[in-house]
């Protein structure tokens, strides 16, 4: 059945003419019919009118469900607005009369229990009664009983950041109670109405608790509803939401909330029982930033800077960092009255006297001075791009207006066709660009030694400059191409940088730290992520901060409660191809792993595990399965034979059977352990591996040279040197784990300096590899990384 969107528009238009932006439940039922979803049989009786025999004949069954209809009352059950009544004229008329008298008082009491109402005038019971339009009389649906999962929720929420998001999950009255107690992705699933395709709906719904119970065989019972029926309902909501979207010009209206809770199953068909619908005329105005001018930020040929003192202040530190990275002094200009030069760079008394329009201007003045300086830059047309360092702009009291004025300044001048810079920041720590040989971060070298060694194809995009530098400090052997502290994103956003850099062949791994989004920019970021991750060898890792529900506005629907802001971000960005990590350690580990395993081939989930400690073998096996799984590889007879022959000279083969995980025991020396690891990786049935030499055993060389030890990790016969050789000669992804104290830091540093991803706990190593492999397989299906 086709979706009749023009009929939906007429229903919304009728409500809007009445000054309403929410639908009455009879109108919700009409809308559901328009999109091809059949509600129960029903009639609507206006308040004050009595039901007659002809009316009642339209509703089948011996019992009916009586619902009060009022634009004020969304939670009808909480205020006595729903009754099940035996079918009969007298009984139904009496129930309608009683509900008209009782519900206003109950609604008033319920509203008081919710706490102080914002922007709402408290109504009297008489005023509440005036808002009662009538009663919906529905057939009582005799649906399939299956316990948990028999009632389903399907809804749309217009997310401020991501636009319309469709959610399906467990429904009924217990939805909010159950959802937090189940693993993410088990109680409900959400997806962007604009990004999800119909052929992806099944994989989205398959992990849900209700799906396996209702849409598959369960204890020998046939499915109660077909997968096609569920997918079809979800897709109809998706298409409805995409049409009435804040970023769509197809309709004058925008869906804010639309929900059916619950859907039940009757004779194999989904039947909607209760529904609500809120809409608005509030479309999102798209800002057209000239993001192609990011080239001037990342690859400037000339740089201007203001705020440099003769003494060592933030501006002077930035100037030194620019020069230390090799940027030509003759192409750096300092706005500084009263001086001819500073650090060998030409000084000019004002912006207007800059000798040329610079590609990049670094503005390090206080927040209160920022707007006037931006006005000068724009008026003189002296900058193609600007980095606003200004701390506190838009964050402390009195500066939000300045931020708004800067935004207006940029928009006005762009609309007039003037040379107007793109702006990074404000409240940012600066930008590092290896190709352009500059660093505008204001942390001196002795406090933050810059990474050195492997040029890794990493791009950091972080709303927090401190977070960005902390990750770089924790990954000293990973030299990024760019590190961009985004700050408040008053102009350029993370999505702009991703769009600009998506075709950069050198940029392979994008590491994003995101705290929040401007309206609509979450969707823009998801689209950009999708474009990046569809390219072979490219990946996006996201740490999303701001996860708690505190401060979330109260809503009328369960959809908004179940699909909270973080859950939506994780679902939409993950579906676009990003890996949304849970912890900061996972964020750091994933960057490291993606960089060091970039040349390895992701083939499958069959993993080999090897350690010289029995406890690690058990713990690693325990961590193979979670939301994404690895499976223990079955060793071939040839591999078992090779490992047995390696272990035989030390008698280890007599201690235990040869199986995966492989326990070498502390008796195994460097050669035995590493030869077994090599044999494991050569097995055609092994796709990947975790190699975990517990370093305290005296049989291995795992210490740096010292006066107290004859060991040397740099000896060609040592365990780390042998593992480095194995890593270089295999195309299978594997990671090393070294569970030891500070004495083994040199071993870890040596392995990572040579490009071997190394962890300090075996469960972390397995969790990373599990996510890495499944990320690669997922994106390989999408036509991208892997």
pLDDT at 77: 87
Does the pLDDT value for residue 148 go beyond 90? no
Scanning the structure block, which residue is given the tokens 């008698």?
651
Mean of pLDDT over the chain? 90
What is the rounded CA–CA span in Å between residue 140 and residue 65? 6
Q: Is the pLDDT of residue 766 over 90?
A: yes
Asked if the model's pLDDT at residue 117 lies above 60, the reply is no
* Portion of the chain with pLDDT greater than 70, in percent: 94
Instruction: Give me the pLDDT at residue 397, please.
Output: 63
The listed CATH number (3.30.470.20, 3.30.930.10, 3.40.190.10, 1.10.760.10) that belongs to domain 152-280: 3.30.470.20
Q: Bigger pLDDT: 210 or 328?
A: 328
What CATH number is given for 597-781 in this structure?
3.40.50.261
Q: Name the residue with higher pLDDT: 20 or 653.
A: 20
pLDDT at 269 over 80: yes
Q: What is the pLDDT of residue 551?
A: 36
Annotated domain spans of the chain: 41-139, 152-280, 293-427, 451-548+568-595, 597-781
168, 154 in Cβ contact below 8 A?
Answer: yes
How does residue 486 score in pLDDT terms, banded at 50, 70 and 90?
A: very high
DSSP 12-27: HHHHHHTT-SB--HHH
Per-residue pLDDT band at 563 (split at 50, 70, 90): very low
Phi/psi at 126 (nearest 5 deg)?
-65, -40
pLDDT of 550 higher than 60: no
Q: Give the span between the Cα atoms of 23 and 763, in whole angstroms.
A: 51
Q: Do 152-280 and 451-548+568-595 show the same overall fold? A: no
Lowest mean pLDDT among 11-15, 198-202, 694-698: 198-202
Q: What are phi and psi of 736, to 5 degrees?
A: -110, 145
How large is the average pLDDT for residues 722-747?
96
Measured N-to-C along each axis, helices 565-575 and 521-533 cross at an angle, to the nearest 10 degrees, of: 30
Q: DSSP of 389-447, one letter per residue?
A: --TTTTTSTT-HHHHHHHHHHHHHHHHTT----EEEESS---EEETTTTEE---S-TTT
- Can you give the pLDDT at residue 556? 45
Q: Which is more confident, 21 or 455?
A: 21
SS3 653: helix
3-state secondary structure of 355: coil
pLDDT at 566: 81
Residue 689 scores a pLDDT above 70: yes
Q: Which helix (H) or strand (E) holds 134?
A: strand 134-139
Q: What pLDDT does residue 209 have?
A: 86
Res 398: pLDDT = 64
3-state class of 697 per DSSP?
A: coil
Whether 221 has a pLDDT exceeding 90, the answer reads: no
**Cβ atoms < 10 Å from Cβ of 620:** 24
For the domain 293-427, what is the CATH superfamily, name and number? NAD(P)-binding Rossmann-like Domain (3.40.50.720)
Q: What is the predicted pLDDT for the residue at 87?
A: 93
User: pLDDT by residue (tens digit) across 273-309?
Assistant: 999 999 999 888 777 788 889 999 999 999 999 999 9
The pLDDT of residue 558 is above 60: no
Give percent above pLDDT 90 in the chain: 69
Q: Compute the average pLDDT of residues 48-73.
A: 91
Band of the pLDDT at 24, cuts 50, 70, 90? very high
Q: What is the pLDDT of residue 572?
A: 93
pLDDT of residue 226: 94
| pLDDT value of position 394 | 62
Of 76-90, 98-112, 767-781, the poorest mean pLDDT is in 767-781
Pick the CATH number of 451-548+568-595 from 3.40.50.2300, 3.40.50.261, 3.40.50.720, 3.40.630.30: 3.40.50.261
CA distance 166 to 259: 10
**Among candidates 703, 715, 711, which has minimal Cα distance to 747?**
703
Query: Is a pLDDT exceeding 90 seen at residue 629?
Result: no
How would you classify the pairing of strands 454-455 and 478-479?
parallel
Q: Are 479 and 596 in contact (CB under 8 A)?
A: no
- 3-state secondary structure at position 130: helix
Contacts of 403 (CB under 8 A, 6+ apart): 393, 394, 426, 488, 490
CA distance 668 to 646: 10
Q: Which of 9-13, 113-117, 188-192, 585-589 has the highest mean pLDDT?
A: 9-13
Helices 5-17 & 25-34 angle (0-180, nearest 10): 160
**Residues found in the chain:** 786
For residue 688, pLDDT over 80 is answered with yes
pLDDT of res. 347: 97
Check residue 382 and give its pLDDT: 96
Categorize the per-residue pLDDT at 120 as very low, low, confident or very high, splitting at 50, 70 and 90.
low
231-245 residue pLDDT tens: 999 999 999 999 999
| Model confidence pLDDT, tens digit, residues 353-411 | 999 999 999 999 988 899 999 999 999 999 999 999 977 676 666 677 888 899 999 99
């Amino acid at each position: 059945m086709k979706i009749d969107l023009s009929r939906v528009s007429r229903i919304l238009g009728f409500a809007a003419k009445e000054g309403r932006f929410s639908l009455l439940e009879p109108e919700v039922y009409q809308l559901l019919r328009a999109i091809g979803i059949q509600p129960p049989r029903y009639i609507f009786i206006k308040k004050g009118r009595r039901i007659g025999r002809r009316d009642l004949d339209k509703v089948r069954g011996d019992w009916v469900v009586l619902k009060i209809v009022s634009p004020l009352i969304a939670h009808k059950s909480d205020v006595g607005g729903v009754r099940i009544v035996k079918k009969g004229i007298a009984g139904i008329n009496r129930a309608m009369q009683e509900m008209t008298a009782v519900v206003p008082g109950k609604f008033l009491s319920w509203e008081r229990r919710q706490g102080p109402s914002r922007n709402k005038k408290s109504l009297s019971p008489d005023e509440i009664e005036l808002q009662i339009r009538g009663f919906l009389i529905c057939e009582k649906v005799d649906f399939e009983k299956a316990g948990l999962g028999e009632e389903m929720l399907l809804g749309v929420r217009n997310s401020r950041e991501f636009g319309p998001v469709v959610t399906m999950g467990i429904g009924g009255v217990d939805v909010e109670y159950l959802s937090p107690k189940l693993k993410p992705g088990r109680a409900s699933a959400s997806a962007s109405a604009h990004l999800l395709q119909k052929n992806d709906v099944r994989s989205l719904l398959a992990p849900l608790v209700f799906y396996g119970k209702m849409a598959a065989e369960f204890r020998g019972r046939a499915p109660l509803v077909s997968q096609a029926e569920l997918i079809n309902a979800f897709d109809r909501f998706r298409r409805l939401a995409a049409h009435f979207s804040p970023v769509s010009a197809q309709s004058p209206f925008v869906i804010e909330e639309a929900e059916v809770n619950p859907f039940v199953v009757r004779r194999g068909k989904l039947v909607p029982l209760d529904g609500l619908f809120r809409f608005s005329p509030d479309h999102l105005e798209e800002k057209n930033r000239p993001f192609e001018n990011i080239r001037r930020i990342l690859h400037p040929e000339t740089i201007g800077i203001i705020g440099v003192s003769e003494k060592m202040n933030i501006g002077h530190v930035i100037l030194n960092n620019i020069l230390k990275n090799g940027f030509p002094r003759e192409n750096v200009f300092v706005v500084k009255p009263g001086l001819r030069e500073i650090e060998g760079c030409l000084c000019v008394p004002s912006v207007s006297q800059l000798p040329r329009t610079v590609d990049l201007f670094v503005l390090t003045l206080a927040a209160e001075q920022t707007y006037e300086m931006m006005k000068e830059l724009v008026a003189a047309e002296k900058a193609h791009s600007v980095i606003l360092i200004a701390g506190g702009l838009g964050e402390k009291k009195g500066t939000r207006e300045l931020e708004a004025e800067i935004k207006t300044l940029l928009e006005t001048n762009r609309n007039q066709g003037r040379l107007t810079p793109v702006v990074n920041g404000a409240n940012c720590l600066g930008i590092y660009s290896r190709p352009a040989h500059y660093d505008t971060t204001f942390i001196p070298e002795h406090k933050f030694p810059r990474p050195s060694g492997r040029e890794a194809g990493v791009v950091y995009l972080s709303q927090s400059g401190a977070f960005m530098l902390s990750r770089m400090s924790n990954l000293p052997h990973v030299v990024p191409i760019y590190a961009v502290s985004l700050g408040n994103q008053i102009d350029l956003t993370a999505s702009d940088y991703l769009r600009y850099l998506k075709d950069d062949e050198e940029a392979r791994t994008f590491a994003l730290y995101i705290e929040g989004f401007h309206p609509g920019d979450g969707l823009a970021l998801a689209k950009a992520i999708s474009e990046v991750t569809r390219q072979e060898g490219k990946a996006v890792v996201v740490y999303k901060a701001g996860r708690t529900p505190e401060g979330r506005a109260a809503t009328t629907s369960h959809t908004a409660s179940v699909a909270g802001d973080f859950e939506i971000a994780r679902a939409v960005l993950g579906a676009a191809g990003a890996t949304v990590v849970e912890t900061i350690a996972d964020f750091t580990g994933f960057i490291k792993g993606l960089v060091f395993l970039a040349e390895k081939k992701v083939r499958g989930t069959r993993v080999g595990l090897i350690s010289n400690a029995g406890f690690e073998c058990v713990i690693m096996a325990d961590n193979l399965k979670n939301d994404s799984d690895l499976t223990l590889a079955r060793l071939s007879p040839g591999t078992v034979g090779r490992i047995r022959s390696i272990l035989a000279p030390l008698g280890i083969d007599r201690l235990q059977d040869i199986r995966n995980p492989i326990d070498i025991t502390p008796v195994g020396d460097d050669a035995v352990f590493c030869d077994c690891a090599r044999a494991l990786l050569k097995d055609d049935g092994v796709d990947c591996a975790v190699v975990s030499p517990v370093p305290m055993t005296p049989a291995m060389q795992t210490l740096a040279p010292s006066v107290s030890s004859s060991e040397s990790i740099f000896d060609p016969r040592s365990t780390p040197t042998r593992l480095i050789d194995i890593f270089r000669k295999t195309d299978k992804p594997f990671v090393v784990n070294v569970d030891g104290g500070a004495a083994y830091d040199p071993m870890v540093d040596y392995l990572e300096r040579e490009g071997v991803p190394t962890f300090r706990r075996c469960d972390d190593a397995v969790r990373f590899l599990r996510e890495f492999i499944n990320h690669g397989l997922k994106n390989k299906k999408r036509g991208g990384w892997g």
